[in-house]
Chains A and B, each alone.
Chain A
Amino acid sequence: MKSEQQYIELYNEAGALIKQKSCPVMNAVRDEAFRVFEAKGFPSKKVERYKYTDVDAAFAPNYGISLNPIEIKAPQPCKEGDARKQYVFSLKNAPIDLAPYYNNVADKADALTALNTALVHDGLLIYVPKNECPADPIQIDNWLQGTAATMMNRRVLVILEQGAQATIIINDHAADKQRFLTTQVVEVVCKDNSHLDMYEIEETTPLCSRFSNVYIREGRDCSVKHNSITLFNGQTRNLCDVYLTGENSEVTLNGCVITDKNQRVDNNTLIDHQVSNCNSNELYKYVVDGQSVGAFAGKILVEKDAQKTTSQETNSNLCASSDARMFTQPMLEIYADDVKCAHGSTVGVMDETALFYMRQRGIPEDEARTLLKNAFMGQVIDQIQLRPLRDKLYVKVEKRFRGELDKCEDCRLCK
């Protein structure tokens, strides 16, 4: 039996219950999504965008599915008279009609997005009304908890109305030493002149598998920075697609991946320049150590009408051990003639002469290696705009390289 069969059976058995726990806007697209999944099954390694991840194997174990309700309380005022606005809602209790957005940014033909759409019963909405800017970053902490192997299907919809701004941090933690399988679909709608600074930080365990699909649609005069940081994980497959649909917009994709032991991280990105005068910038860096495997495939698509596009894509990688492997595939596909695009990737090993220099000064080899890895990754962390987060990540990245981050750092449950 191929792995999809158990999910097809699951839907046939539990579909009605999921619908009952869900809401009309989600149920409206559910059956269709299921049919897409049923027809396609899990993508094999022959499917271009999935060639570095064995999806079937990851979904093979028997997972229980979590249908816990999502409750979001309105924020409490910190002090008298400080009326705090609510920007985060459950999809079920959305303050606006979500039908124009829900599942309309995502790629409906992607099997994993389809599976998520079929199985997810509720999710989060981050809604920033016109010209508003939440005073604080919005932080979502996902805690994977459970006493048995559990599958979590997460859905996030972000809507920035015209002129809105937001900073969003999504953290993934695992509270229990348990097998967890997460599917996530994040849809981001940036209306004209809106600005988003977004961070996704994974700090889970080797028992966790994560399949995340992020879809971002930008209107005119927008700017989006998406930062994907994998500090600790089991198996991770992140897809991030950005559609530039309005002129004078820009997008920055930053990635920081640190793996060792048998960890695997596969990042697959697409930046689709549909219109002229947009700018995209992408920098993904990996340090792969132990027997871990990293993969990066990033496509910049410049469509026929996207004149005056500027784009820069870089993937640089450090293979810190001879057993670690890195696959890299930067791609440029250009159909317009007046564009400035560059892309490149490198896979390097530890600089032996630098190691020797440091050791001659008395720095022990392990420490010297840590310094070099840290220096290599520093370039991505430097890009982080949110100062307190940047400072925290410098510390975390260094701890990670020292092997002190095998458990999640701020986790009261791990202590």
Chain B
Amino acid sequence: MHATVGGKEILKGVDLTIKDGEIHALMGTNGAGKSTLSNVIVGNPAYEVTEGSITFNGQDLLAMKTEERAHAGIFMSFQAPIEIPGVSMTNFMRAAVNARRQALGKEPLKSTDFLKIMREKRKLVEIDQKLMNRSVNEGFSGGERKRNEIFQMAMLEPTFCILDETDSGLDVDALRIVAEGFNKLRTEETSAMVITHYQRLLDYIKPDVVHVLIDGKIVKTGGPELALKIENEGFDWIKAELA
């Protein structure tokens, strides 16, 4: 799959299969195209796929709108979560949860049930109730934003999750809470693409497969040991192999 943003080709032939229940770690140099790949999968309209296809559970993702992909069970934890002034977290979540329910042919949640679920899921990532009355991400610290991403994931119960540097900006305790929260949410069919620069996240969320993306291509794929080697040695040895 090839993709461009702002007229510039960023992904130059990515070939990747993630099976049910698998965790794939995606590592790579800054600017390699990791976030681009994530955005393309979830359908950010700013990105254009110029060649190739993306299939999710047999469905042609590229033919689906962003929100339809979400309804199908795809979730992305944003590298830089967006602020939405004037829209409270509670209303935002209510709209999101009920939109998905509607797409699945379910009744909207009763208000009391919705608030009960909110309460339960908040506990999972230890996010404060007072943040729920604020506008989405407004005045949230970097760490709170990342927790908020996983909280939203908990509310929406996706089957395929992309974590785009969810660990960056988190202290050790917050990292543990967020990663353990993610693990609790996993079911047998949940698969994930975890983008990170650090082994410390992969200590909690153990990958089945590790990929290295450099300059818009997956240049190396291996097991968990590949992440450890990168942690110790960086990417230079891979670049040397390519040269």
> Which A residues are closer than 8 A to B by beta carbons?
351-354, 356-365, 367, 371-372, 374-376, 378-379
Q: Which of B66-103 contact A (CB under 8 A)?
A: 66-67, 70-71, 75-76, 78, 81-87, 91-92, 95-97, 99-100, 103
Looking at A353, A363, A364, A379, the one whose CB has the most chain B CB atoms below 10 A away is: A363
A359 partner residues in chain B, CB cutoff 8 A: 43, 65-67, 70
Given known contacts A352-B46, A356-B44, is B84 in contact with A362 (CB within 8 Å)?
Answer: no
Min CB distance A362 to B, Å, is 4
B42 at the interface (CB under 8 A from A): yes
CB-contact partner of B87 in A360, A365, A375, under 8 A: A375
For the complex, give the distance between the alpha carbons of A353 and B66 in Å. 13
B45 at the interface (CB under 8 A from A): yes
Min CB distance A250 to B, Å, is 26
CB-contact partner of B66 in A360, A376, A378, under 8 A: A360
Given known contacts A356-B44, A357-B78, A367-B99, is B87 in contact with A362 (CB within 8 Å)?
Answer: no
B61 at the interface (CB under 8 A from A): no
A376 partner residues in chain B, CB cutoff 8 A: 86
Secondary structure of the A contact surface, majority rule: helix
The bracket for how many chain B residues form the interface is: 20 to 34
- Are B70 and A360 neighbours in the complex by a CB distance under 8 Å? yes
B81 partner residues in chain A, CB cutoff 8 A: 357
Q: Can you report 26 A-B residue pairs in the complex whose CB atoms are below 8 A from each other?
A: A352-B45, A353-B82, A354-B82, A354-B84, A356-B44, A356-B46, A357-B81, A357-B84, A359-B66, A359-B70, A360-B43, A360-B66, A360-B75, A361-B70, A362-B70, A362-B71, A362-B99, A363-B67, A364-B67, A364-B99, A365-B67, A371-B95, A372-B87, A374-B86, A374-B87, A376-B86
For the complex, give the distance between the alpha carbons of A335 and B3 in Å. 59
Given known contacts A356-B44, A356-B46, A358-B92, is B99 in contact with A363 (CB within 8 Å)?
Answer: yes
A354 partner residues in chain B, CB cutoff 8 A: 82-84
CB-contact partner of B86 in A353, A358, A365, A379, under 8 A: A379
For the complex, give the distance between the alpha carbons of A379 and B135 in Å. 13
CB-contact partner of A375 in B42, B70, B71, B84, under 8 A: B84
- Are B152 and A361 neighbours in the complex by a CB distance under 8 Å? yes
A365 partner residues in chain B, CB cutoff 8 A: 65-67
For the complex, give the distance between the alpha carbons of A97 and B87 in Å. 51
- Are B42 and A360 neighbours in the complex by a CB distance under 8 Å? yes
A351 partner residues in chain B, CB cutoff 8 A: 84
B156 at the interface (CB under 8 A from A): yes
CB-contact partner of A362 in B67, B82, B136, under 8 A: B67
B42 partner residues in chain A, CB cutoff 8 A: 360
> Which B residues are closer than 8 A to A by beta carbons?
42-46, 65-67, 70-71, 75-76, 78, 81-87, 91-92, 95-97, 99-100, 103, 135-136, 152, 156
A372 partner residues in chain B, CB cutoff 8 A: 84, 86-87
Among residues of B, the one whose C-beta sits closest to the C-beta of A366 is B67
B92 partner residues in chain A, CB cutoff 8 A: 358, 361, 363, 371
B97 partner residues in chain A, CB cutoff 8 A: 362
For the complex, give the distance between the alpha carbons of A357 and B95 in Å. 13
For the complex, give the distance between the alpha carbons of A358 and B136 in Å. 10
Among residues of A, the one whose C-beta sits closest to the C-beta of B93 is A361
CB-contact partner of A361 in B83, B85, B135, B156, under 8 A: B156
For the complex, give the distance between the alpha carbons of A374 and B45 in Å. 23
B156 partner residues in chain A, CB cutoff 8 A: 361-362
B78 partner residues in chain A, CB cutoff 8 A: 357, 360
Min CB distance A243 to B, Å, is 34
For the complex, give the distance between the alpha carbons of A202 and B45 in Å. 37
Among residues of B, the one whose C-beta sits closest to the C-beta of A361 is B96
Please give me the 6 A-B residue pairs with the lowest Cβ-Cβ distance, nearest first: A375-B86, A362-B70, A361-B96, A359-B66, A357-B82, A362-B100
For the complex, give the distance between the alpha carbons of A353 and B44 in Å. 9
CB-contact partner of A360 in B76, B84, B103, under 8 A: B76
CB-contact partner of B85 in A358, A364, A367, A375, under 8 A: A375
A352 partner residues in chain B, CB cutoff 8 A: 45-46
Among residues of B, the one whose C-beta sits closest to the C-beta of A379 is B86
For the complex, give the distance between the alpha carbons of A379 and B86 in Å. 8
Looking at B65, B75, B82, the one whose CB has the most chain A CB atoms below 10 A away is: B82
Min CB distance A357 to B, Å, is 4
A356 partner residues in chain B, CB cutoff 8 A: 44-46, 66, 82
Among residues of A, the one whose C-beta sits closest to the C-beta of B95 is A363
For the complex, give the distance between the alpha carbons of A124 and B79 in Å. 60
For the complex, give the distance between the alpha carbons of A201 and B125 in Å. 45
Min CB distance A355 to B, Å, is 9
Among residues of A, the one whose C-beta sits closest to the C-beta of B45 is A356
Min CB distance B230 to A, Å, is 28
B95 partner residues in chain A, CB cutoff 8 A: 358, 363, 367, 371
For the complex, give the distance between the alpha carbons of A353 and B67 in Å. 14
Among residues of B, the one whose C-beta sits closest to the C-beta of A356 is B44
Given contacts A359-B43, A365-B67, 7 further A-B contacts (CB under 8 A): A356-B46, A356-B82, A359-B70, A363-B67, A371-B84, A371-B87, A375-B84
Among residues of A, the one whose C-beta sits closest to the C-beta of B74 is A360
